[in-house]
Amino acid sequence: MLGEGRHWWITSTSDSHVNWRDGGTDFWPGEYSKTYVKAEKNYEDIMESIRAGKIFVTTGDLISELDINVQTGGSSVTFGETLTISIKESDDVTVTIRLKDPSVDNANGDNPAVKRVDLIIGDIIGKAEDRTAYSYPTTKVLARFTAKDWKQKGDYIEISYTLKNLDKNSYIRLRGTNTDQLEPAVDPKGEDPWTDFWFYSNPVFIKLSN
């Protein structure tokens, strides 16, 4: 859907029936997965921010804040927004990522640490020809960042990356993990969910103009 240019947003699930402490397999809403919305603390602004895609999700309280600034020249955008750049000028695009890895325990009494952050990019090419396709051919991990690539400022991690020679309408998004998995894998039966955490952001769109 992102490759078609659709402004489609992610949220985490919080459907709970029988809590794991009571013999079930579910978590209380917000106990394991959380949806964060960047908004003022009032109903109207929260709903507007959800519609605008100013959202990231995380499991296990791996992070508690995530911001992105995608900039060229005097223009900059964040999650859910579109940056327009000139094909003729072919300006580089600077991506600045800032996230908080909180020094507090999660609901399981653990304090997981971010091990890697991935920057993902895909082309926006319009309506998909194969409506049954499970994957999108142009989507790829553009860069993987670990502690050697970022600046640590207290609980905050800061990352900078430059996109060069963009020649197609694109979208970028972020994900991160406390694991060594290069791609999120299907959880094997019996896996401890408190050892496998990820976060995901909504996209930023980049549009080329003449």
State what percent of residues in the chain have pLDDT above 90.
Answer: 72
* Largest interatomic CA distance in the chain: 62
Give residue 158's pLDDT band: very low, low, confident or very high (50, 70, 90): very high
Q: Per the domain annotation, does 11 fall within a domain?
A: no
pLDDT tens per residue across span 98-156: 999 999 999 999 999 999 999 999 999 888 888 787 788 889 999 999 999 999 999 99
Question: Which residue, 180, 159, 185, is CA-closest to 97?
Answer: 159
Q: Per the domain annotation, does 4 fall within a domain?
A: no
Q: Per the domain annotation, does 8 fall within a domain?
A: no
- The CATH number of residue 57's host domain is 2.70.50
Q: Quote the pLDDT of residue 90.
A: 61
Q: Per the domain annotation, does 158 fall within a domain?
A: yes
Q: Per the domain annotation, does 64 fall within a domain?
A: yes
Asked if residue 151 lies in contact with residue 157, where contact means CB atoms within 8 angstroms, the answer is yes
Distance CA 31, CA 8 (A): 25
Q: Per the domain annotation, does 171 fall within a domain?
A: yes
Query: Count of alpha carbons within 13 Å of 55, Cβ hemisphere only?
Result: 19
Q: Quote the pLDDT of residue 55.
A: 97
The predicted model gives 182-190 an average pLDDT of 89
Question: Which residue, 146, 185, 171, 188, is CA-closest to 53?
Answer: 171
How many domains are contained in the chain? 1
Query: Count of alpha carbons within 13 Å of 147, Cβ hemisphere only?
Result: 8
Q: Per the domain annotation, does 180 fall within a domain?
A: yes
Q: Per the domain annotation, does 120 fall within a domain?
A: yes
| pLDDT beyond 90 at 60 | yes
Domain range enclosing 99: 20-209
Can you read off the two tokens belonging to residue 1?
């859907």
Q: Give the global pTM.
A: 0.92
